[in-house]
């Protein structure tokens, strides 16, 4: 896979190393000449010293038709511009942008970036899933982590034993997919009751996981 990376800081440097280890062909664009020279010698890859938001610089890198462009500079606007130029002018198949301010993530997706990665959001979701929601096990991450499919094992002596789903006031951003009780798989409705030991499969917005824990009283 041919990939161009914009930004040779720590993220860009280690991303290049990882791609090389996995057998890919990365090209790096870094605006700082000294850093560009160091990475070119250290990793023995093509490095262009220039502004990755400039069409002239991107064209000089001869990356037209590459499989992906990944922009990981410290400025969200630069990452957005580089990805838009790559997609609109250079026929790059996929664009990936690091977002430093999580509030910019949805805007960048609306403006055509294929994959937007926020380390702040990722850490927050990890903490919420592993610390705050220990009883909720994520099975599948969907849509770049915005949604997920989760498994919940209701404990013995469950506080809401025998309650109907309609009475639990679950957040609107979730759907109960199934309830497994022993060897029986139940497709739930609002009048379906939950019992101690039930295994619940639930699809939801990742941001709603904490609200689910509260609604189900999984303290």
Range of the domain at 188: 133-215
Distances (CA, A) of 128 to 88, 192, 202: 37, 28, 16
Q: What is the pLDDT of residue 132?
A: 46
Q: What is the pLDDT of residue 136?
A: 80
Distances (CA, A) of 75 to 81, 101, 144: 10, 9, 21
Q: Where does the pLDDT of residue 187 fall: very low under 50, low under 70, confident under 90, or very high at 90 and above?
A: very high
The dihedral formed by the CA atoms of 50, 3, 97 and 88, expressed in degrees to the nearest 10: 80
Q: What is the pLDDT of residue 210?
A: 78
- Whose tokens are 């511009």? That residue is 81
Residue 134 confidence (pLDDT) above 70: no
Express each pLDDT in 54-79 by its tens digit. 999 999 888 888 899 999 999 999 99
Q: Identify whether the C-beta of residue 15 lies closer than 8 Å to the C-beta of residue 5.
A: yes
Q: Where does the pLDDT of residue 129 fall: very low under 50, low under 70, confident under 90, or very high at 90 and above?
A: low
Same domain, 38 and 101: yes
Same domain, 109 and 38: yes
Report yes or no on 114 lying in a domain. yes
- The CATH number given to whatever domain includes residue 44 is 3.40.50.720
Q: What is the pLDDT of residue 130?
A: 53
Please give the average per-residue pLDDT across 183-187, as a whole number. 93
CA distance 177 to 187: 7
Q: Identify whether the C-beta of residue 63 lies closer than 8 Å to the C-beta of residue 69.
A: yes
Report yes or no on 43 lying in a domain. yes
Residue 197 confidence (pLDDT) above 50: yes
Please give the average per-residue pLDDT across 132-136, as a whole number. 59
The closest of 186, 174, 187, 179 to 215, measured between CA atoms, is 174
Same domain, 9 and 109: yes
The pTM assigned to this predicted structure is 0.60
Same domain, 174 and 204: yes
Q: Where does the pLDDT of residue 121 fall: very low under 50, low under 70, confident under 90, or very high at 90 and above?
A: low
Q: What is the pLDDT of residue 106?
A: 84
Higher pLDDT, residue 207 or 55: 55
Q: Identify whether the C-beta of residue 129 lies closer than 8 Å to the C-beta of residue 138.
A: yes
Report yes or no on 179 lying in a domain. yes
- The CATH number given to whatever domain includes residue 157 is 3.30.70.1450
Q: What is the pLDDT of residue 103?
A: 84
Express each pLDDT in 156-170 by its tens digit. 888 899 999 999 888
Report yes or no on 192 lying in a domain. yes
**What is the radius of gyration, based on Cα positions, of the chain?**
23
Report yes or no on 68 lying in a domain. yes
Express each pLDDT in 6-29 by its tens digit. 999 988 999 999 999 888 989 999
The contacts of residue 205 (CB under 8 Å, 6+ apart) are 146, 147, 173, 174
Same domain, 184 and 115: no
Same domain, 158 and 50: no
**Number of domains making up the chain:** 2
Please give the average per-residue pLDDT across 105-122, as a whole number. 81
Please give the average per-residue pLDDT across 192-216, as a whole number. 87
Higher pLDDT, residue 6 or 155: 6
CA distance 116 to 110: 11
């Amino acid at each position: 896979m041919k990939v161009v990376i914009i930004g040779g800081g720590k993220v860009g440097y280690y991303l290049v190393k990882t791609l090389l280890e996995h057998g890919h062909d990365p090209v790096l664009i870094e605006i700082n000449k000294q850093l560009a020279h160091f990475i070119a010698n250290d990793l023995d890859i093509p490095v262009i010293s220039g502004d990755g938001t400039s069409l002239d610089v991107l064209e000089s890198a001869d990356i037209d038709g590459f499989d992906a462009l990944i922009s990981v500079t410290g400025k969200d606007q630069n990452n957005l511009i580089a990805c838009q130029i790559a997609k609109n002018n250079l026929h790059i198949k996929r664009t990936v942008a690091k977002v430093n301010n999580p509030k910019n993530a949805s805007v960048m997706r609306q403006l055509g970036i294929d994959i937007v990665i926020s380390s702040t959001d990722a850490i927050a979701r990890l903490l919420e899933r592993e610390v705050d929601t220990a009883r909720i096990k994520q099975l599948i991450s969907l849509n770049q982590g915005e949604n997920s499919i989760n498994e919940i094992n209701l404990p013995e002596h469950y506080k809401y034993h025998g309650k109907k789903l309609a009475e639990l006031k679950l957040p609107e951003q979730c759907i109960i997919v199934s309830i497994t009780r022993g060897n029986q798989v139940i497709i739930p409705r609002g009048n379906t009751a939950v019992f101690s030991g039930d295994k619940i499969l639930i699809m939801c917005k990742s941001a709603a996981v904490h609200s689910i824990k509260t609604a189900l009283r999984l303290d």
